[in-house]
Amino acid sequence: MEKRVLVLNLDHSPVAVVPVHKAIVLCLLEKANILSTYELLQIRTVSRSFEYPAVIRLTHYKTIPFRGVLLNRTNLFKRDNGECQYCGSKRHLTIDHIIPKSKGGKTIWTNLITACNRCNVNKGDKTPEQAGLILRSEPFKPSLSYFLAEYAERQAEEWLPFLSSRVIS
């Protein structure tokens, strides 16, 4: 199975995750350097073998238009650990506007949370204060690093030292 390679910008901010063959090409063209490798893995061709990169860094700074994490149901549930942010239930999850739309609440990361159907219905068209509900955590806008770090925890611990910033303020 082909492992994925984390690509960092010249300033060490994560910019992408690419398949290994693409990472090798970037290194051969001297557009990137290997910062970390997967131990015990090698890539062999007829004439030579390469270390298997885990993290590479671009040799020139690349200006990247801001790429946030897509705001959708899956990513929102993931940010909230799949738990209702009022009662902690993991069942019948829905999306709740903290400040209801009818009161001008926006559809943005910081106004949306995961809520179970029961809490959502109880809250209705009220704010959490009006409904007597307390948020278990402050909703935040996750950065690309945040999700890459989550991914790395499952896939590639070699990435973790390079993924420190979890939130873009």
| 109-to-30, 59, 71, 98 alpha-carbon distances in Å | 38, 34, 7, 10
Residue 104, burial from CB neighbour count under 10 angstroms (0-12, 13-18, 19+): exposed
* Phi, psi of 112, rounded to the nearest 5 degrees: -120, 140
Torsion sign (Cα): 79, 85, 90, 94? negative
Does 86 interact with Zn ion (rule: CB under 5 A)?
yes
Nearer to Zn ion (CB atom), residue 83 or residue 158: 83
Nearer to Zn ion (CB atom), residue 89 or residue 165: 89
Nearer to Zn ion (CB atom), residue 32 or residue 116: 116
| 116-to-2, 47, 51, 81 alpha-carbon distances in Å | 38, 58, 47, 13
Smallest distance, Zn ion to C-beta of residue 120, A: 8
Q: Could you tell me how many residues of this chain bind Zn ion (CB under 5 A)?
A: 6
Range 90-119, binding Zn ion (CB under 5 A)? 116, 119
Please choose, out of 51-59, 89-97, 122-130, 132-140, the segment that lies near Zn ion by the rule CB under 5 A. Answer: 89-97
Query: Judged by CB under 5 A, which of 43, 71, 87, 168 binds Zn ion?
Result: 87
Smallest distance, Zn ion to C-beta of residue 80, A: 11
Give me the residues that bind Zn ion (CB under 5 A), please. Answer: 84, 86-87, 89, 116, 119
